[in-house]
Amino acid sequence: MGHAGQAEKLKAGDRGLYALRHSAAHVMAHAVRRLYPGVKLAIGPPIEDGFYYDLELPTQLTDEDLPKIEAEMAKIIQADYPFVQTFLPKGEAVKSFTERGERYKLEIIGDIPDATLSLYTDGDFADLCEGPHVASTGQVKAVKLLSVAGAYWRGDERNPQLQRIYGTAYFTAAELSAHLQRLEEAKRRDHRRLGKELGLFSFEELAGPGVVFYHPKGATVRWLIEDYVRQIHLAKGYQPVATPHIFRTDIWKQSGHLDYYRDYMFLFEADGISYGLKPMNCPGHILIFSSTTRSYRDLPIRIFELGTVYRNEKSGVLHGLLRVRGFTQDDAHIFLREDQLVEEIHAILDFAVEVLSAFGFAEFAVELSTRPEKFIGTPEHWEHAERALRSALEAKQVPYDVHAGEGAFYGPKIDLKIKDALGRSWQCGTVQCDFALPERFDLTYAGADGKPHRVVMLHRALLGSFERFFGMLLEHYAGALPLWLSPVQVVVIPLTERQVAYARQLAARLRQEGVRVDVDERNEKMQAKIRDAQMSKMPYMLVVGAREADANTVAVRHRREGDLGPMSPEAFAQRVQTEVTSRRGSA
């Protein structure tokens, strides 16, 4: 969800907090104007966890400048200026902001159709604003500025780059303190830091931004996720396929993606023919479905692919694994009859919960997104698709929120969100009901009457982008992945060189049992080896000295539970296998 969507969600859910943070943004802009004459104001909305203001400044700010701005804010808060709303005819507002040289405000005014505009004043500071605000600046007490970032005006890299100051505000100091602690914990769990520290992945400047290099340990984790996803899809009756990465642009014209995604597509020509790297997997699956005649008895047909797609995301929005240019989806497309829709949607929702629960997630929220302003297909088909999704949710008695106008361009959708260990929401599973693409590609099946009938198409993912899901997993578990996902599950630590041979023999026996194991043969003290294993989030450490070698046992240490005492190699291997099979894990 973008910042605009976050603001609307906050406004609808907690108007008091929305007004407080909106007021804090005004106080911050007021302070910046006092400190930096010549500043030009853009926008300053509340967002889910705070607020920001975009500014054009005569000097480049850094995070070190924030305490100075906070100190000026404190003076404005101490003055307890009332927030006063006034209304100006549009012509007067244009004149006022022209005199101030506020070109961004003038551009906003130009987009407002109203003849009268709302302004809010606190002290000698006035801003174009609809509100709401708290009564006075004195009510903005628990406030903290967090960071400075760059932001293009209106999100368009062709526009001027502004400076964005982020902050947050709460009603009490205790609430603010708790939020700041959560932010510190989020920094500790940042997947970019963990990925580097644990040797999982990297981004290489020579290769370009937004493309991920998985190192051996990271590739192992990804392989384990993929293997689980493949196996469970086969068990659920999905048929695996593989489609090319490059298509002629003709197919993207026919699907509508070229009209809606052109700016995000990598397009090129070869032999005078226009091609594009695929931003979606659905047209490829459509071609497979349409390659032969289908009977009503064949349906539903569930086509599944771990499909890698490419999107030309702007460099300014790239963010570790969470926003990349090349990513893989657990993508499926289900071709079915209308009378099968509700039952199939039920099955997908149950499937999504089953898969996400296997990764340790237990809290889910559901959103229904409806027809956007730009769409393909007919309004009648959209209404039909929305009814099908609503009916499926209501028949299962699933509570859901409606996000009007946020559906895909080809159909409405249900999104499944999970909560991580810090209480943050992440969108993973999705099911989208599509009547439009079957029309565009003339997808039919032979009915019981022998005549062709139009299929309905469900687009579906459970984890979504593997890159994003990997990053989310790392942050949820703070790098300490569950045993079944750990790239190395066990490290054997010999006390002296005399136990190295036994340690190697033990590792070989465990590998035969399917355990991923390393031997730490470094000439270091045992405590240093244990500390390093703990820093690398190693689930189990097996310490072997002369006593263990003589008795053919191991001294077992767990990363959370500590010393578990001596075990036979067979008993330990059984413990690991049981834990892996159960997929136990806690954040």
The single residue of 26, 164, 278, 311 carrying the catalytic annotation is 311
The single residue of 164, 333, 371, 417 carrying the catalytic annotation is 333
The single residue of 233, 285, 413, 476 carrying the catalytic annotation is 413
Q: Is 333 a catalytic residue?
A: yes
CA distance linking residue 165 with residue 296, whole number of Å: 58
Q: Is 233 a catalytic residue?
A: no
The single residue of 21, 222, 381, 459 carrying the catalytic annotation is 459
Q: Is 340 a catalytic residue?
A: no
CA distance linking residue 65 with residue 86, whole number of Å: 32
Using an 8 Å Cβ cutoff, are 81 and 122 in contact? yes
The single residue of 122, 331, 420, 520 carrying the catalytic annotation is 331
CA distance linking residue 110 with residue 121, whole number of Å: 21
Q: Is 311 a catalytic residue?
A: yes
The single residue of 129, 282, 428, 433 carrying the catalytic annotation is 282
H or E segment to which residue 534 belongs: helix 526-535
DSSP SS3 for 258: helix
**Torsion angle defined by CA atoms of residues 341, 342, 348 and 350, in that order, rounded to the nearest 10 degrees:** -160
Using an 8 Å Cβ cutoff, are 370 and 404 in contact? yes
CA distance linking residue 273 with residue 183, whole number of Å: 50
DSSP 15-62: HHHHHHHHHHHHHHHHHHHHHSTT-EE----EETTEEEEEEE-SS---
Supply angle C-alpha 65, 66, 68, rounded to 5: 75
Q: Provide the pairing of β-strand 273-277 with 326-336.
A: unpaired
The single residue of 163, 329, 340, 499 carrying the catalytic annotation is 329
Using an 8 Å Cβ cutoff, are 150 and 316 in contact? yes
CA distance linking residue 255 with residue 285, whole number of Å: 12
Q: Is 459 a catalytic residue?
A: yes
Using an 8 Å Cβ cutoff, are 128 and 119 in contact? yes
Residues assigned a catalytic role: 282, 311, 329, 331, 333, 413, 459
